C-alpha cells in the first residue's frame, strides 16, 4: 500500500472590523457557502495517474490552503477490490472500465465525471524510414518489427485491442515490459514502430522519433473518471474544480490527455 499525503496549512479567517458588521469575513468560498472550514479529502487513485493527481492537488491547494489531501495510489484492480469490500474514500479515480463497476455503490453521491482520455499512438524512428502508413504494414507477411507493451497493462491492452480490431497478427511482434523500453528500441532502430499511449510522449525529445496517427489506432483510448463518495464540501468543490477549471484542463492536456472539459472530448 502506498500513501502520500499532501499537507497544507489552515487558512485563517480574518474578521473585517473597519466599517463592517461582525458578520463580514474574508473567506474562500465553497459552492457559495461562504465557508472555508479545514477538511481532509481522501483520494484513492490508480497508480499510473498519481503524478498527474499530485500536480492537480498542488494547483488546487494554492487557492484552498485550508484543505488537506491524503492520496493512496495502488494498482487499479487492487484499488477497486478494496473499495467494493471496505470503506470508501471521498474520491475514487480510475479507468472507466472500473469506475463503472463502482458507480452503483449506494455510497456514491455523484455520478462519475470524465477527466480525460489517454489515446493510443504509433511511434516510429525519426522520419519514419519504413514509411509506415497503416497497421497492415505489420501484417504476418511483413518483415517490419512492431513493439507493444506486455499484456495486463493499459498500454498492452490498448495495443492488443487495436491489432485485434484491425485483424492484424504481426509475425515480428516484440513485447516489452514498459513504454520506456519501447521508446528506446524505436529510437535505436531495433523496432520499425511501437504502439504506446499518448501520455508517454510528454517531455520526450521529438527529434528522436515520429508519431503517426493511424486509423484504428486513434480509436483505442483509455478514459479516466472521478467518482465522489460522501458529502464533504471540500471533496465536492475539488470535483467541481477538476471538471470546470481551465488550469486543471491545462495540466492534463500538457500531460498528454485529451480532456473532457467544457464538452470537448
Alpha-carbon distance 126 to 225, whole Å? 34
pLDDT per residue, tens digit, the chain (265 aa), is 444 443 333 333 232 333 333 333 223 333 444 455 688 999 999 998 999 999 999 999 999 999 999 999 988 688 889 898 899 999 999 999 899 998 888 899 988 999 999 988 999 999 999 999 888 999 988 999 999 999 888 899 889 988 998 899 998 999 999 999 999 999 999 999 999 998 999 888 889 899 887 766 766 788 999 999 988 999 999 999 999 999 999 999 999 998 855 443 3
- Crossing angle of helices 246-254 and 50-63, in 10° steps, is 150
Q: How many CB atoms lie within 10 A of CB 17?
A: 9
Q: Which domains can be identified in the chain, with CATH numbers?
A: 2-117+224-263 (3.40.190.10), 118-212 (3.40.190.10)
Rg (CA), the chain: 22
- Mark 76-86 as b/e (b = at least 16 C-beta within 10 Å): beebbebbeee
Amino acid at each position: 500500500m502506498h500513501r502520500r499525503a499532501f499537507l497544507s496549512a489552515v487558512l485563517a479567517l480574518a474578521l473585517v472590523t473597519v466599517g463592517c458588521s461582525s458578520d463580514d469575513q474574508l473567506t474562500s468560498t465553497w459552492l457559495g457557502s461562504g465557508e472555508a472550514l479545514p477538511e481532509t479529502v481522501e483520494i484513492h487513485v490508480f497508480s499510473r495517474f498519481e503524478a498527474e493527481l499530485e500536480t492537480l492537488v498542488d494547483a488546487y491547494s494554492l487557492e484552498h490552503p485550508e484543505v488537506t489531501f491524503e492520496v493512496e495510489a495502488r494498482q487499479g484492480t487492487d484499488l477497486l477490490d478494496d473499495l467494493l469490500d471496505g470503506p470508501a474514500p471521498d474520491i475514487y479515480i480510475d479507468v472507466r472500465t472500473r469506475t463503472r463497476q463502482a458507480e452503483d455503490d449506494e455510497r456514491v453521491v455523484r455520478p462519475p465525471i470524465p477527466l480525460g482520455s489517454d489515446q493510443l499512438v504509433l511511434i516510429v524512428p525519426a522520419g519514419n524510414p519504413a514509411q509506415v502508413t497503416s497497421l497492415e504494414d505489420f501484417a504476418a507477411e511483413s518483415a517490419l518489427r512492431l513493439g507493444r507493451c506486455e499484456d495486463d497493462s493499459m498500454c498492452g491492452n490498448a495495443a492488443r485491442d487495436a491489432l485485434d480490431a484491425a485483424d492484424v497478427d504481426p509475425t515480428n511482434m516484440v513485447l516489452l515490459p514498459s513504454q520506456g523500453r519501447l521508446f528506446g528500441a524505436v529510437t535505436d532502430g531495433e523496432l520499425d514502430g511501437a504502439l504506446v499511449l499518448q501520455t508517454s510522449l510528454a517531455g520526450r525529445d521529438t527529434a528522436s522519433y515520429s508519431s503517426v496517427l493511424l486509423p484504428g489506432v486513434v480509436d483505442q483510448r483509455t478514459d479516466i473518471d472521478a467518482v465522489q463518495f460522501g458529502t464533504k464540501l471540500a471533496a465536492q468543490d475539488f470535483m467541481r474544480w477538476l471538471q470546470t477549471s481551465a488550469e486543471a484542463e491545462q495540466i492534463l492536456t500538457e500531460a498528454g490527455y485529451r480532456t473532457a472539459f467544457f464538452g470537448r472530448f
